[in-house]
Amino acid sequence: MKTTTTARWSAIAVIAPLTAAAFAGTTLWAQVNDPRAITSPVAAQATSDGAVMPAQVDTTGAGDPQNRVNQSAEQIRQRAKAVRAKAREIRREARQIAEASTSTPSSSNGDSGSGSSSSSGWVPQGASNTPAPAPKPAPVVVPAPAPAPPADTTTGAS
């Protein structure tokens, strides 16, 4: 049945970019609109504010179903690459936020801080190729041993 076949292909077309996103090491929520990304002819496109825009249709070579599939796979690969790059940027920014929050006293004046970075001390950073330093592990505190019982005598150098 034509409708069932179409529905099956549609389902696959939706699942495919989800799989690509998972393979890219990020979740779908982390995908942001990247002007460099090639739009998949069948995938839904998520924006940074969470709104889902309808898929744009690529009419190039639209007449051949196999060609359409090949183009979809290539576009998915390109999109996955862009998503991975964006994920790295987001992780870098998250580390900076974590470091700023541990070194800066938290604000207690009820300021929600919306639109302002002064209360947390975090300054947004542009994309950078320099990886942020790894956070130092907390020092391990080893308890001192109990003092030795008093000696009746000592054995030592001879």
Partner 1 sequence: MTEQGLSQQEVSSDMTTTFNAMGSTVTVRILDPGDDAQRAIEAVREKFSTIERTCTRFDANSDLMVANARGRRWAQVAPECLDVLRRAHRAHTETGGIFDPRTLESLQTLGYDRSWERIEESTRVWPTPTRRVRMWHPSFDEARSRVRIGSRPVDLGGIGKGFAVTESMKILRGHGRSILVEAGGDLAVQGPGPNSAGWRVHVENPLGGEQPAAVWEITDVAVATSSIYRRQWQIEGRRAHHLIDPRTGMPAESGLASVTVVHPDAPTAEVWTKVGFLTGCADIRSVFDDVKLPAVWITDDGRVGYSKAATPLLTWKVSRVHA
Residues that bind partner 1 (CB under 8 A): 145-158
Please say whether the beta carbons of 25 and 86 come within 8 A. Answer: no
Taking the least distance from each CB to partner 1, the nearer of 112 and 154 is 154
Place of tokens 């207690």: 108
Write down the least CB distance from residue 144 to partner 1, Å: 10
- Please tell me the distance from the alpha carbon of residue 42 to that of residue 92, in angstroms, as a whole number: 31
Write down the least CB distance from residue 147 to partner 1, Å: 7
Please say whether the beta carbons of 32 and 46 come within 8 A. Answer: yes
Taking the least distance from each CB to partner 1, the nearer of 109 and 154 is 154
Write down the least CB distance from residue 149 to partner 1, Å: 6
Report helix, strand or coil for 18: helix
Cα 34 vs. chain centroid, distance in angstroms?
A: 14
Taking the least distance from each CB to partner 1, the nearer of 109 and 153 is 153
- Angstrom CA distances, 32 to 18, 58, 94, 119, 155, stand at 14, 20, 15, 27, 72
Write down the least CB distance from residue 105 to partner 1, Å: 37
What is the longest distance spanned by two Cα atoms in the chain?
99
Write down the least CB distance from residue 150 to partner 1, Å: 7
Taking the least distance from each CB to partner 1, the nearer of 49 and 152 is 152
